[in-house]
Amino acid sequence: MVGVDILMISNSNPSSNIFGWLSKESKTVMKFGITPEFVMSSYICDELLEEIFKRLPSKTLLQLRSLSKSWCSRISSPDFILTQTTLQTARNYQNILIQHRTSSFQNFFTVHYQSMLNSQYGNYGTRPMKSPNGYIVGSCNGIICLRDHYSGNFSLWNPSIRRKLTLPYPFFSLNNYEIAGVGFDSKTDDYKIVILSCFRHGKHKSMVYSLKKPVWREITPPSSRITCVNSPGCVVNGVLHWVVRSDVFQDFILTFDLSSDVFSEMTLPEKPNQYTKQHPIIFNGSLGMLVSTKDCYHRVWAMKEYNNVTSWYMTLNFGDHPYEGIHAVLQLKNGNLLIRNHNLVMNFHPNGELCSVVCMPEYSTLSIVGMVMYVESLALLDIGTVCNTEQIVLSHETTKW
């Protein structure tokens, strides 16, 4: 019977049927002394199997690791993890991860699929899932960088495979004025976390941590004295970008090159003033800037030629959204803008029309504290430790889900 089953499956689509069948019937197959490699090699060459593996969801790959030692070794190898993660990101399978917090400081998250974001008002994400303590610093290739509120420790977390890596504490004292970001250095295939500690009196200190060289090392800080960071970090062309303010009350874009570990500065598209707030965003794959004014008007600028400040041009102009409390802006695959404030996540058409409210807590005891792009990947599989992110049930007093 096993041979008949294998023959039937070999005539079907391997990527949609064979792996599910192997997972379900693995004990029966093994009882007859037939390995998954034998089943697959009877009709799929090794090169094609590799291509299929790279395109499978992360959760399916985790299940396949338990069927074969050779498959486990292949899927767990750093080269395969990097290739699968890069492919998933390049294919733009990115969704939205939203972090919530209750009045009792319980953190949880929901994942919202871009294909469902144009639904009517309401919550259209996964069931609430536990998240490690801390606020979101940034995300990269499925890795969420978190900073613990109390200990100050940084951690890297991959929700799709439930893996977490806690970084050692930096050897210098941190303070309230800090800049932090996470990104991927494509030249060395390495993830990096950078922090800049901004002291009111004395010199700034900056450090960078990489997964391939797992120690904090001090680097040259920016030449300007930074007193305030006005936006989360945004990675474009392998460079982190923040909007910051100097000690002489000048706002500008602070950049950090993830390959050279060098800080630089860039001019904003509009002259800063007390009535506007500017957020760096990724717009059509290029560096963009959302400019919000107190009279509820918003403009999106884009940089046609990277690092050429004369190439800034205005591409969108819309209004009807409050200025106060904008914390994050993301562009979706369809061109819409996702804007988050303290307790709302709204989906806007480029013409300014509100398409949907993606996330709207029904009680004042619930707040939205983070929003990032998120792709399911195998990142951290070879170095992280298991992290519990099971579903949680929130009380009726907290929210209706």
Same domain, 53 and 104: no
Same domain, 123 and 42: no
Distance CA 203, CA 222 (A): 10
Helix 78-90, helix 46-55: angle, nearest 10: 60
Transcribe 252-289 into DSSP letters: EEEEEETTTTEEEEE--SS---TTEEEEEEEETTEEEE
In the chain, the number of structural domains is 2
249 lies in a domain? yes
Question: Binning pLDDT at 50, 70 and 90, where does residue 9 land?
Answer: very low
Q: What is the pLDDT of residue 7?
A: 32
Same domain, 118 and 70: no
Distance CA 103, CA 46 (A): 53
88 lies in a domain? no
Question: Binning pLDDT at 50, 70 and 90, where does residue 124 land?
Answer: low
Whichever domain contains 321, its CATH number is: 2.120.10.80
59 lies in a domain? yes
314 lies in a domain? yes
Region 216-230 average pLDDT: 87
Torsion 121-126-127-129 (CA) sign? negative
89 lies in a domain? no
Same domain, 165 and 263: yes
Same domain, 113 and 157: yes
Is the pLDDT at 275 greater than 60? The verdict is yes
Tell me: the pLDDT tens digits for 287-339? Answer: 999 888 776 677 889 999 999 999 999 988 876 555 456 778 888 888 888 88
DSSP category for residue 152 = -
Percentages helix, strand, coil for the chain (3-state, rounded to 5) are 20, 35, 45
Distance CA 326, CA 58 (A): 33
Tokens coding 56: 């499978």
113 lies in a domain? yes
Tell me: the pLDDT tens digits for 30-45? Answer: 444 445 555 555 567 7
Q: What percent of the chain has pLDDT above 70?
A: 76
Q: For 22-26, 70-74, 326-330, which range has the lowest pLDDT when averaged over its residues? A: 22-26
Residue with tokens 């295939």, as numbered in its chain: 189
Same domain, 381 and 334: yes
Same domain, 221 and 292: yes
Q: What is the pLDDT of residue 365?
A: 55
Question: Binning pLDDT at 50, 70 and 90, where does residue 5 land?
Answer: very low
Same domain, 72 and 171: no
Which of residues 76, 107, 141 is at a domain's end?
A: 76
Q: Which domain holds residue 29?
A: 2-76
Region 82-99 average pLDDT: 83
303 lies in a domain? yes
393 lies in a domain? no
Same domain, 66 and 128: no
